[in-house]
Every structure is written in C-alpha cells, then in structure tokens.
Structure 1
Amino acid sequence: MSDPFWIAVEDQLHELTAAKSADDVIKILSKERNPYGHECIAGDGYFGGSGGDGTVRESLLTAGWETVWWRAGYWYAMKAPDDSMITYIEGDIYRGDKRS
C-alpha cells in the first residue's frame, strides 16, 4: 500500500495499540494528523480510516481498553487503562462518555 492516506491511517492504528489514555488517543488522532485535513473535524480528534482493514476499537482493545457501551460500529465508548474515556461517533473522537 503506497497511498499516503492509507499509510497515515495504518500508522495511527499501530500507534493506538499502545494508547493508555484518552489524551494518547486524542494526540494520535489529532486534527493536525487527520489525513483529510483538520477543517472537517467536529470532535477532539478524528479517525479517517473507517472502511479500511483496521478499526480504532480493535487497536484500543489490543492496548488494554474495554468497551463501556456499544450502539453500533460507528457509536461506542471505551475506557482506558488509566480510567479515562473516549466516545467514537462516526469517526469523531470525543473525550469522555457522550452517550446522549
């Protein structure tokens, strides 16, 4: 795979396997590192690689995170080993539990 977009996505997924806090996830998926550009992000971070081979959830499970709640593959919350949390909503990453 030589497409710069997918290379950036794979790098982010790999880095997420070592994320131990919400801060780590937000840094890895920061607006500045978004392969689409940062002007289209609503959350604290964004994962542009949905539809690819890996997922944020799979990478975070590898890093020791646990699922707090799950509505669908595009809407869920996870808790880090340090007890901080993120909510994933259609690629946008929000700090904390954004259930409502």
Structure 2
Amino acid sequence: MSNDGFWEVIGDQLHELESASSAADVVGILSHERNPYGSGTTGGDGFFAGSGGDDTVQDALRTAGWEYEWYDARYHFCMRAPDGSLITYVEGDIYLGNSRAPKNG
C-alpha cells in the first residue's frame, strides 16, 4: 500500500468515527479486516493505525458525542458512547469496555 493509500484509509476511518454511536460501531470501523497494516498486527478488538497523524480517535469520537470515562494520556483512555457502551484505547489498540487495570490499595 502506498503512503497516500494508507492515509486515505485512516482519513476514511476518522470520518466514520465522527458518527459512531456505540462501541460496536468503533470496533467495526477499526476492525482487523480494515487495518491498513494487515489483520494480524494487534491483540485488541480493533486497531487504529493512524496514531502518528494529526487527527485522533478521541477527537473524532468527541465530535460524535462521546465523553471520557477516564483519561491517563493521549494514548491511554476510556470513552463512553452516546448509548452508554465503552471502549478503551491503548496505543492504537481498541478494547471493548473499560479495560483499565484496577489500582491496588
């Protein structure tokens, strides 16, 4: 895939995320099958390959009405969809639900 084709896929995904209303929508948009690097590159439920670009998953989801459940860093956060479902973002990997490890003590 050319570099231009890669960023076109990422742009399309970000545009689709701007209207995602559930965690299932996000996983569908960022599914393994739509990963421009190939389907075997992540252990999450989905993967965003464009984390080095200017636009972000969190900005797209905020446009769609999502809110933070918690936020540690731009590469590690959990967001709540308008329907109440959750995704956790860890360095491009997308996990359904709140995958934050509980704190001890």
Q: Aligned partner of 2:9: which letter?
A: A
CA distance in 1 between counterparts of 2:34 and 2:75 reads 20
Unpaired segments ≥5 residues, structure 2: none
Say which SS state the counterpart of residue 40 (structure 2) adopts.
helix
Q: How many residues align?
A: 99
Provide the residue aligned with 2:43 in structure 1.
Answer: 42
Q: Are residue 67 (structure 1) and residue 68 (structure 2) matched?
A: yes
RMSD: 0.8
Identity between Structure 1 and Structure 2 (%): 59
Q: CA deviation at 1:29?
A: 0.1
Say which SS state the counterpart of residue 60 (structure 1) adopts.
helix
Provide the residue aligned with 2:54 in structure 1.
Answer: 53
Q: Aligned partner of 2:11: which letter?
A: E
Higher alpha-carbon Rg:
2
Give the alignment's TM-score, normalised by structure 2.
0.92
Provide the residue aligned with 1:15 in structure 2.
Answer: 16
Give the alignment's TM-score, normalised by structure 1.
0.97
Unpaired segments ≥5 residues, structure 1: none
